[in-house]
A and B are shown apart, each in its own frame.
Chain A
Amino acid sequence: EDKVVQSPLSLVVHEGDTVTLNCSYEVTNFRSLLWYKQEKKAPTFLFMLTSSGIEKKSGRLSSILDKKELFSILNITATQTGDSAVYLCAVGTLGRLYFGRGTQLTVWP
Chain B
Amino acid sequence: EAGVAQSPRYKIIEKRQSVAFWCNPISGHATLYWYQQILGQGPKLLIQFQNNGVVDDSQLPKDRFSAERLKGVDSTLKIQPAKLEDSAVYLCASRPLVARTEAFFGQGTRLTVV
Which positions in A face B, CB cutoff 8 Å? 4, 6, 31-32, 34, 36, 40-45, 48, 50, 88, 90, 92, 95-102
Contact = CB atoms under 8 A, between A and B. Distances in A.
Contact of A48 (B35, B40, B48, B100): B100
Contacts of A102: 41-42
Interface in B62-114: 89, 91, 93, 95, 99-108, 110
Given A32-B100, A41-B89, A41-B91, A88 B43 contact: yes
B100 A99 contact: no
Interface of B: 31, 33, 35, 40-45, 48, 50, 55-56, 89, 91, 93, 95, 99-108, 110
A95 B42 contact: no
B108 A95 contact: no
Contacts of A97: 33, 45, 93, 95, 103
A4 B93 CA distance: 19
B1 to A, nearest CB: 14
B58 to A, nearest CB: 10
Contacts of A92: 100
24 contacts: A32-B100, A34-B102, A36-B105, A41-B91, A41-B107, A41-B108, A42-B107, A43-B43, A45-B103, A48-B100, A48-B101, A48-B102, A90-B103, A92-B100, A95-B31, A95-B50, A96-B48, A96-B55, A96-B56, A97-B33, A97-B103, A99-B42, A99-B43, A101-B40
